[in-house]
Amino acid sequence: MSKNQETAKRVLSLVGGEKNVNSVVHCATRLRFNLKDESAAATEELKNDPDVIQVVQSGGQYQVVIGSHVSDVYKELLAQSSLGNETDEKSDAPKGNIFNQLIDIISSIFTPFLGAMAGAGVLKGFLTLALTMGWLAADSGAYLVLFAVADGIFTYLPILLAFTAAKKFNTNQFLAVCLAMALVHPSINALAGTELSFFGIPVILGASGYTSSVIPIILAVFVMQYVERFFKKVIPNALQIIVVPLAVFLVMTPLTFILIGPIGTVAGNLLGGAYNSIYGLSPLLAGAVMGGLWQVFVMFGMHWGFVPIMMLNLSEAGGGIDSMMPMLLPAVMAQGGAALAVFLKSKDVKLKGLSLSAALTSIFGITEPAVYGVTLPLKKPFIAACIGGAVGGAFVAFSGAKNYVFGLVSVFSLPGFIAPGTNDTSGVVSAAIGTGIAIILAFVLTYVLGFDDPVQADAAEVKEDELKKGTATLGEQKIVLASPISGDILPLSDVKDDVFASGAMGKGLAIRPNDGSVYAPIDGEITTIFPTGHAIGITSKEGIELLIHIGMDTVELNGVGFETFVKTGDKITKGDLLVKFDAALITGKGYSVETPIVVTNSNDFLDVLDLSQENVLHGEDFLVVVK
């Protein structure tokens, strides 16, 4: 079994199996599942899978980030299941709010042919560059043949949209394509800008007709699903193969040209006009916001909401000019700059390899390896990249750079910033400068601010192993304490209490709990337990005096939300349940549940060491006392 086959098999199993999947598509790096029950998926196991970069739950989709070879995994996934088969059953997945539904619809419609569109866009940009540099003549056979494929997908875009929209809306894809072909038929295009009469009813055609249009055909296919469903119910099965298509054509064609098409055109103009008005108000602000937040939008799947706007801008009705893509290029490339800084600064071999490859893939517009594998887990590099993207995006937008072809945002987008039929390369220069600013700023900020290098954690693990084996040079005896609570670890200095934060109570750590149970971290005796249940004092057999203080100022609750299972003087064994507390009730009353665990007699020992963890489960080692 190949690696892709194994990956597909594991992913399908971990999302809950085929029975839990309503549908699945893929984009440049992700498998996008629509699951019946997301809670049935083993999300943590997927995140820890060596062939999965990240799992994102957003926009009504369960997204498994695989990387640039996602299409190969997708093919194997379909081969191992029946998910690629046509179905007329309606999805029974939860609908979610309107925003999530729209994001899901847009991504499902555009994702299948995004690669083809990106390739055609890059080719169209390079053809423009070839004309500008004099490498090809506009009337040469080579140019005309290549331009036909580069421009064809955009000219007849409604046909592709009809096919994918029909699949999304569970209606006949070939009837939808026929409807789209009517919209872009040469005889209709020849009458663009005029008014027709359909049995006395006026048919208004826009100045550019419906070539390259987006919204009209999507709305038409959305309505068509109900029309087709109606005729399937009222027409006998024996006649459906001919009569249903005929009935759909007779109803939907005039309805689309007379009503739906004009409504879609107006809606598209309003959407494009709204964006251009905001951009016209302050290009600098628009560039800073889009450049700074674009990767955040991508993480949550919100970027799909901007795809129709870019395509509307590039349509003939939108003037064929888009100002959005140039300001996004710095945001994408900045992630690569931050990843490159991580490569140079980190001493961890695995992270260095990952960050270098991530920096290279970001050049081609694939940022998921950089974001999910490097910058986001390390936090500071991601923030540095967003800052670089904001500054670079603001510069590009302020310079007035424009885009003239659609494609993925990458270094190959630059030729598309040359206005067709001109030698004006100012847009390319401005975008290149802004992108350079973003890369350099992200690199410098990441290098200067630094990050938590995993090699430090590895050193901590070595230190822990030495202590456990008794080979550490810090002392002859060590006592390992188990975590009494499951949760995220934070240093005492971050606790919002001056006594604990200053270390006056002793050395230790604090935990932000994930649940409401406290267990014995070591064998010993309960020396103190407050009547309110919020604090427990333990003395171990080795003489360690330990204080577990649940929350800040929780003594004021007078025991409300706490339940104790031990009393002063009780002998305890490591792992015994000591206290339960209601975290939701406590936080609801305005109190923090951050819980310091400190060795109050730290001065009696050589040292109290932490194990450089970010989170812990109760019962796991988390403090070492050196005697």
The 3-state secondary structure of 122-171 reads HHHHHHHHHHHHCCCCCCCHHHHHHHHHHHHHHHCHHHHHHHHHHHHCCC
In sequence order, the β-bridge partners of residue 545 are 539
Q: Which two tokens stand for residue 51?
A: 């062939």
Residue 524, amino acid? G
Per-residue pLDDT, averaged over 140-147, amounts to 90
321 plus 406 within the same structural domain:
yes
105 plus 231 within the same structural domain:
yes
In what order do the strands lie in the sheet containing 607-610?
A: 478-482, 621-626, 607-610
pLDDT for 172 beyond 70: yes
Does a structural domain hold residue 145?
A: yes
Per-residue pLDDT, averaged over 496-504, amounts to 80
Per-residue pLDDT, averaged over 74-83, amounts to 88
Sign, Cα dihedral of 388, 394, 397, 400: negative
197 plus 333 within the same structural domain:
no
pLDDT of residue 358: 83
Does a structural domain hold residue 467?
A: no
Rounded Cα gap, residues 208 and 374, in angstroms? 46
Query: Under 8 Å CB-to-CB from 495, ≥6 apart: which residues?
Result: 501, 510, 552, 594, 596
Does a structural domain hold residue 463?
A: no
Does a structural domain hold residue 454?
A: no
Range ranked top by mean pLDDT from 25-39, 80-94, 276-290, 376-390: 376-390
363 plus 405 within the same structural domain:
yes
Q: Which of 220, 253, 276 is the last residue of a domain?
A: 276
pLDDT for 474 beyond 90: no
434 plus 324 within the same structural domain:
yes
Sign, Cα dihedral of 470, 473, 479, 484: negative
pTM to 2 decimal places: 0.52
Per-residue pLDDT, averaged over 42-54, amounts to 86
290 plus 250 within the same structural domain:
no
Q: Is 481 helix (H, G, I), strand (E, B) or coil?
A: strand
Per-residue pLDDT, averaged over 217-245, amounts to 92
Segments forming the whole domain that contains residue 231: 98-276
Q: Which two tokens stand for residue 428?
A: 């390319």
pLDDT of residue 397: 93
Q: Is 538 helix (H, G, I), strand (E, B) or coil?
A: strand
Q: How many domains does the chain have?
A: 4
pLDDT for 95 beyond 70: no
pLDDT of residue 100: 64
Q: Which of 230, 256, 276 is the last residue of a domain?
A: 276
Rounded Cα gap, residues 314 and 308, in angstroms? 10
pLDDT of residue 495: 87
126 plus 264 within the same structural domain:
yes
Find the distance separating the first CA and the last CA of the chain, reported in whole Å. 53
pLDDT for 375 beyond 60: yes
Percent of the chain whose predicted confidence (pLDDT) is above 90: 36
- pLDDT-derived band at 68 (thresholds 50, 70, 90) equals low
SS3 of the chain: helix, strand, coil, percent, to 5:
55, 15, 30
293 plus 264 within the same structural domain:
no
345 and 355 in contact (C-beta within 8 Å)? no
Percent of the chain whose predicted confidence (pLDDT) is above 70: 90
pLDDT of residue 129: 80
Kindly report, residue by residue over 523-582, the tens digit of the pLDDT: 999 998 988 899 999 999 889 999 999 998 888 888 999 999 999 999 999 999 999 999
126 plus 155 within the same structural domain:
yes
118 and 411 in contact (C-beta within 8 Å)? no
- pLDDT-derived band at 304 (thresholds 50, 70, 90) equals low
pLDDT for 36 beyond 70: yes
Per-residue pLDDT, averaged over 237-252, amounts to 91
Does a structural domain hold residue 306?
A: yes
- pLDDT-derived band at 246 (thresholds 50, 70, 90) equals very high
Q: Which two tokens stand for residue 396?
A: 């590009």
583 and 566 in contact (C-beta within 8 Å)? no
pLDDT for 94 beyond 50: no
Per-residue pLDDT, averaged over 77-94, amounts to 62
pLDDT for 360 beyond 90: no
Q: Is 57 helix (H, G, I), strand (E, B) or coil?
A: strand
DSSP characters over 231-244: HHHHS-GGGHHHHH
406 and 154 in contact (C-beta within 8 Å)? yes
Q: Which two tokens stand for residue 577?
A: 């349940």
Mean pLDDT, rounded, of the chain: 84
316 plus 209 within the same structural domain:
no
Helix axes 240-255, 215-234, angle to 10 degrees: 140
Q: What phi and psi, each to the nearest 5 degrees, are found at residue 518?
A: -120, 125
Q: What phi and psi, each to the nearest 5 degrees, are found at residue 397?
A: -65, -40
Per-residue pLDDT, averaged over 121-133, amounts to 80
pLDDT of residue 229: 93
pLDDT of residue 225: 94
36 and 21 in contact (C-beta within 8 Å)? yes
- pLDDT-derived band at 87 (thresholds 50, 70, 90) equals very low
115 plus 251 within the same structural domain:
yes
Pick from 87-91, 403-407, 408-412, 594-598: least confident: 87-91
Q: What phi and psi, each to the nearest 5 degrees, are found at residue 511?
A: -130, 135
pLDDT for 609 beyond 70: yes
- pLDDT-derived band at 165 (thresholds 50, 70, 90) equals very high
pLDDT for 428 beyond 50: yes
Query: How buried is residue 104: exposed, middle or buried, by Cβ count under 10 Å (0-12/13-18/19+)?
Result: buried
Kindly report, residue by residue over 405-423, the tens digit of the pLDDT: 877 788 888 888 888 777 7
Q: Which of 251, 276, 301 is the last residue of a domain?
A: 276
Does a structural domain hold residue 444?
A: yes
Q: Cite the active site residues.
A: 27
pLDDT for 273 beyond 80: no
**For the chain, counts of helices (H) and of strands (E):** 23, 20
407 plus 308 within the same structural domain:
yes
Does a structural domain hold residue 91?
A: no
Q: Which two tokens stand for residue 324?
A: 């959005």
Does a structural domain hold residue 464?
A: no
pLDDT for 476 beyond 70: no
